[in-house]
Chain A
Amino acid sequence: MNAIAPLEATASAAFAPVLKERGQREVFCGLTGIIWLHRKMQDAFFLVVGSRTCAHLLQSAAGVMIFAEPRFATAIMEERDLAGLADANVELDRIVDQLLARRPEIKSLFLVGSCPSEVIKLDLSKAAQRLGAKHAPHVRILNYSGSGIETTFTEGEDACLASLVPIMPEQPEGAEANLIIVGSLPDIVEDQFRRLFAELGIFNVASLPERAVADLPGIGPNTYFLLAQPFLGDTGRALEGRGATRLDALFPFGVEGTTNWLHAAATAFGVEDTHFDTVLHPYQDRATTALAHHRERLAGRSIFFMPDSQLEVPLARFLANELGMRLIEVGTPYLHRQHLAQELAALPAGVMLSEGQDVDRQLDRVRAARPDLTVCGLGLANPLEAEGLSTKWAIELVFSPIHGFDQAGDLAELFARPLRRRDVLRV
């Protein structure tokens, strides 16, 4: 664990070498994505095939329990399931029958692999086929892995969405071009983007995921897609595998990112620049006004990102370029160089990037730098606050509407609030 990889010079000279670390990681596993995915896809149910730890994670990770009976559950493996895989499969079938009998409104069921199910090599894709045949046509059975040995936090959403790509309806060669926004967004943000695209004159717009799995968009050679989230590497590859074209852009955070992101679509769909500017102008103005309030408080303040959701690089770019914050270290669990190419180029020169984590060493760097704000997971926030360091919970950035023009101010506010609170308190 001591032996960290040496500093590695990357191909691009635009940013400093990336520090690659290996050690204890203070991050969630991919199962955590279920917390928001099950709210997004309202006809789907997520069944984790795992251990009591998985079930305990799911109810602890959200910080609160959403107690309306959630559309997720865990099939907790017990001693006898480990004895023989045949039995485990029989047991799984029994659990799925039980679940579908209880929740007849379920149209799609995701079997979600976990660390223990991967280690004992319980083949959930075979199980999905077997159960799919049994429960067709009422219920479609899909599978992906959210295990911690393979996925870090938001990579669970990537794996989930990638599992949907093969079942997207085929769109023939001559079909009208369509645009897919990829990544689960809060409904309000999704609706804003749809309205914006319509104003720009792009009408054939869909989302992956849609609010119902049953409404998956069509895909073909005339399909373009925009990634709304930076952590969708496998999903992007799968979409390209089905002939769709990825529109390279900044991610839609802040005025700069949102403009660039929309512009990529506008270019692909032949929207004229004058029209583009006319449509966007009022939105950009509004967002700039909202940001101005926070710029005063944030400009010149230093920030340290611990690795968490892979949103770190785009958010750092936004905070540096539009709010004038100083980036001390931008840590990310995984750096997808291709999807982040423009983001990396837009970062201030010489920014320290780190990939992976050895949490104790990274905390040493936090303590040495004493940043004004540290973005970190829930396990670290209070201990750092107790040391006199202001923190921002990283998970809030995944749970809140932060994309697009009309959320730019809210996004800045998430970073400004901890600092304002520190200024206000006299206890």
Chain B
Amino acid sequence: MQLSVWTYEGPPHVGAMRVATAMEGVHYLLHAPQGDTYADLLFTMIERRDKRPPVTYTTFQARDLGKDTSQLFQTAAQDIIERFKPDAMIVGASCTAELIQDDPAGLIEKMGLPIPVIPLELPSYQRKEHWGAAETFYQIVRHLVDKERRPSDRANRRPLVNLLGPTALGFRHRDDIIEITSLLNKLGIDINVVAPLGANVADIAKLGEADFNIVLYPETGDLAADYLAREFRQPTVRTVPIGVGATQDFIREVANLAKVDPEPMLREGLSRLSWWSRSIDSNYLTGKRVFIFGDGTHAVAAARIASEELGFKVVGLGCYNREYAREVRAAAKMHGLEALITDDHLAVEQAIQDAQPELVLGTQMERHIAKRFSIPCTVISSPVHVQDFPARFSPQMGFEGANVIFDSWVHPLVMGLEEHLLTMFRDDFEFHDGAGASHLGPGHSAPQDQAAQPEAANDAEAVWSDEASRELRKIPFFVRGKARRNTELFAAENGVSMIELATLYEAKAHYAR
């Protein structure tokens, strides 16, 4: 058993729902008790979808258990055929149904339904949402792809690719697809199929017609891409185009496979991020301490942008999905960090507290954590909430995605000159750090007393003198935590038991950037 307050990922059948809901004409028959229908609201409320997810829950109850839950299952299957007339059906069990072992696969096979039926084995007590989505998409591809299809003669057409991985409830998937499609079109490349998002059964059948595959979301698209590589010998592009550098790498890799010239686009197509970041106003971003946590793919991409494109210092990096721990560990190593691989949000909270970052990039969990610590935060990865499905076009991928990232990461911070003014005139009754950044309004003020109470320091550590403690409070809130931590660290390393004014400034000199 695992004690859990909040979870980063739902159970694997929610991953299957994300695939079914993304597609057209695919219905999901889920053997599940009453209550599991809660998952519908993830799509209709959080993502504001205007249709119910194409899922039928068998809704068995305690009184059915001794009797015939399998009958319920078969009746539901028949109802789906009549009412929804889907082109294909996926069938599986939620966590409770897995325990009663009705064998959905066997039951459905016996029925001899007139449409393709794909049984799913999603072990609820071992795996989670992303894996469930990846496995479901893979099974759908394996069952529905037409193995006879191959790319047509290249002489008479532009290169053709598949975009794999986008699902319902994905972080900015809708806009990423628009951005990447237009980027590829500009390169002279056409899209064969985008899947699962927006794909129907006929689209899946023709996946083999593409020259190669592009996996935009490895968490959900990798398994299917591996299969297609085996079955059709289609090459796979795995560079995820989030950030300017990654987008340029992506363009080169894609152009190489498609045999088109990337140079015109690379020369012309820089994101505004590049100039915005080089412009003098952005000087103050240099060395800002940033803590990054999310799914593996988005976390790794964010770390590269943070360090190479915005000049931040990455002070924490991790992911909640162990399947991508290897990539995150490798990235963390480049930043001289130990990767944080955990799905326990309390461990993440502790790590954020320890790292004293000036900006947190994370999921909705980290947004809540950062809010409690009054640290600026931007969401970069699922799980996300309703406000992370914006009405406006706001991709993360491609050059426009980089523009969006610049704006959304920099906006929560205190602006450059304002930062200096806060330091210079500390006792202005209106313009003080407790009032927070001027462009953010109330609710973004500095934490009351938090990190400003040196006396709260651990017993084993040095004690702050009154004078040093008063001086610490004069340091603006967005760097105060770091100053305090560095000073205490310095005191501990040098065997200082009482932190005096001088200790504070010695530590400052010691840790000078």
**B-contacting residues of A (Cβ < 8 Å)?**
1-3, 23-32, 49, 51-53, 55-57, 59-61, 63-65, 67, 69-70, 72-79, 81-82, 88, 91-92, 94-95, 98-99, 115-116, 118-120, 147-150, 152, 360, 377-383, 385-386
Residue of B nearest to A3 (CB): B75
Q: B7 contacts A56, CB within 8 Å?
A: yes
Within 8 Å CB of B75, what residues of A? 1-3
Contact A53 B45 (CB under 8 A): no
What per-residue 1/0 map shows which CB atoms of B48-76 lie under 8 Å from chain A? 11111000111111100100000010011
Knowing A77-B125, A379-B52, the reply to whether A94 touches B1 (Cβ < 8 A) is yes
Closest residue of chain B to A69 (Cβ to Cβ) is: B5
A88 to B34, CA, bound (A): 24
* CB pair A149 B11 closer than 8 Å: no
A72–B3 alpha-carbon span in the complex (Å) = 10
Q: What's the Cα separation between A81 and B125 when bound, in Å?
A: 9
Which B residues between 56 and 102 are near A, CB-CB below 8 angstroms?
56-62, 65, 72, 75-76, 78-79, 83, 94-96, 99-100
Does B443 interact with chain A (Cβ within 8 Å)? no
The answer on a CB contact under 8 Å between B95 and A116 is: yes
The CA of A243 and the CA of B60, in the complex, are separated in Å by: 36
Is there a chain A Cβ closer than 8 Å to B42's Cβ? yes
Task: Out of A29, A73, A119, A149, name the residue touching B4 (CB < 8 Å).
Answer: A73
Cβ contact within 8 Å between B96 and A379: no
Knowing A29-B34, A51-B11, A91-B1, the reply to whether A24 touches B59 (Cβ < 8 A) is yes
Is the CB–CB distance between A92 and B40 below 8 Å? no
If A377-B41, A380-B44 are given as contacts, then 8 extra A-B residue pairs at C-beta distance below 8 Å, sorted by A number, are A23-B59, A49-B1, A52-B9, A53-B10, A56-B38, A65-B6, A81-B125, A378-B40
Q: Can you report 9 residue pairs joining A to B where beta carbons are below 8 Å apart?
A: A52-B11, A53-B94, A56-B38, A67-B372, A78-B125, A79-B126, A382-B50, A383-B44, A383-B50
CB neighbours of A386 from chain B (8 A)? 50-51
| B33 CB within 8 Å of chain A | yes
* A46: min CB distance to chain B, Å: 11
Instruction: Tell me if A118 and B62 are in contact (CB < 8 A).
Output: yes
Residues facing A in B1-51 (CB within 8 A) are 1-7, 9-11, 13-14, 33-42, 44-45, 48-51
From B7, B37, B72, B371, A52 is in contact (CB under 8 Å) with: B7
Are A381 and B125 touching (Cβ within 8 A)? Answer: no
Say whether A149 contacts B62, CB under 8 Å.
Answer: yes
Residue of A with least CB distance to B7: A55
| Contact among B6, B57, B96 with A116 in the assembled complex (CB-CB below 8 Å) | B96
Whether the Cβ atoms of A26 and B37 lie closer than 8 Å is: yes
With A79-B126, A382-B48 in contact, is A115–B41 under 8 Å at CB? no
Cα distance A72–B7 in the bound complex, in angstroms: 13
Contact B33 A60 (CB under 8 A): no
Establish whether residues B4 and A76, one from each chain, have CB atoms under 8 Å apart when the complex forms.
yes
Q: B13's closest neighbor in chain A, by CB?
A: A53
Q: What are the 4 tightest A-B residue pairs by CB atom distance, in nearest-first order?
A: A29-B35, A148-B35, A379-B40, A386-B50
Asked if A25 and B59 sit within 8 Å, CB to CB, the answer is: yes
Docked pose: A63 CA to B52 CA in angstroms: 17
Identify which of A118, A378, A382, A385 gathers the most chain B CB atoms within 10 Å of its CB: A382
The complex places the Cα of A53 from the Cα of B37 at a distance, in Å, of 11
Knowing A24-B59, A380-B52, A386-B50, the reply to whether A119 touches B41 (Cβ < 8 A) is no
Q: Judge whether A70 and B5 touch: CB under 8 Å.
A: yes
Residues on the B chain within 8 Å of A2, using CB: 75, 78-79
Contact A382 B49, CB 8 Å, known A24-B58, A118-B62, A147-B33 = yes
Chain B residues, CB < 8 A from A69: 5
Which of A79, A99, A382 makes the CB contact (< 8 A) with B3? A99
With a CB–CB cut-off of 8 A, which chain A residues contact B7? 52, 55-56, 59, 76
CB nearest neighbor in A for B99: A119
Report the separation of the CA atoms of residues A401 and B126 in the bound assembly, to the nearest whole angstrom: 41
User: Which A residues are in CB contact (< 8 Å) with B33?
Assistant: 29, 115, 147-149
User: How many residues belonging to B are interface residues under a CB distance threshold of 8 Å?
Assistant: 58
Q: Which residues of B contact A59 (CB under 8 A)?
A: 6-7
The answer to whether B59 and A65 touch across the interface, beta carbons within 8 angstroms, is no
Most B Cβ at <10 Å: residue of A31, A56, A67, A383: A56
Minimum C-beta distance from A20 to chain B (A): 14
- Give bound CA distance, A53 to B1, whole Å: 14
- Give residues of chain B (440-488) contacting chain A, Cβ–Cβ below 8 Å: none
Which of B1, B9, B62 is A78 in contact with, Cβ under 8 Å?
A: B1
- Residues in A with CB closer than 8 Å to B142 are none
B128 within 8 A of A: yes
Residues of A within 8 A of B162 (CB): none
Residues of A contacting B335 in the complex (Cβ-Cβ under 8 angstroms): none
Report the nearest A residue to B56, measured CB to CB: A24
Q: Once bound together, how far apart are the Cα atoms of A63 and B385, in whole Å? A: 9
B-side contacts of A115, CB under 8 Å: 33, 35, 95-96
What's the least CB distance linking B104 to chain A, in Å?
15
Tell me, rounded to whole Å, the shortest Cβ–Cβ distance linking B153 to chain A: 44
In the complex, which residues of chain A have a beta carbon less than 8 angstroms from the beta carbon of B50? 382-383, 385-386
Tell me how far the C-beta of A259 lies from the nearest C-beta in chain B, rounded to whole angstroms.
Answer: 36
**What residues of chain B lie closer than 8 Å to A377, measured between beta carbons?**
37, 41
State the CA gap A49–B52 with chains docked (Å).
29
Q: How far is the CB of A392 from chain B (nearest CB, A)?
A: 14
Take A77-B1, A380-B52 as given contacts and tell me if A25 and B34 are in contact as well, using a CB distance cutoff of 8 Å. Answer: yes
Q: CA A55 – CA B10 in complex, angstroms? A: 8
A149–B6 touching, CB < 8 Å: no
A150: B residues at CB distance < 8 A: 61-62
| Nearest Cβ on chain A to B367's Cβ, whole angstroms | 9
Determine the residue in chain B with the shortest Cβ distance to A70.
Answer: B5
Contact A95 B34 (CB under 8 A): no
Give min CB distance, B28 to chain A, whole Å. 12
Which residues, 338 to 360 on B, are CB-close (under 8 Å) to A?
A: none
Q: Are B65 and A119 in contact (CB under 8 A)?
A: yes
B368 at the interface (CB under 8 A from A): yes
Q: Does B321 contact A (CB under 8 A)?
A: no
Among B5, B35, B76, B94, find the residue whose CB has the most chain A CB atoms closer than 10 A. Answer: B35
Inter-chain CA distance A118–B95, complex, in Å, is: 12
Q: How far is the CA of A115 from the CA of B34 in the complex (A)?
A: 9
Q: How far is the CB of B8 from chain A (nearest CB, A)?
A: 10
A385 contacts which chain B residues (CB < 8 A)?
50
Contact B126 A149 (CB under 8 A): no
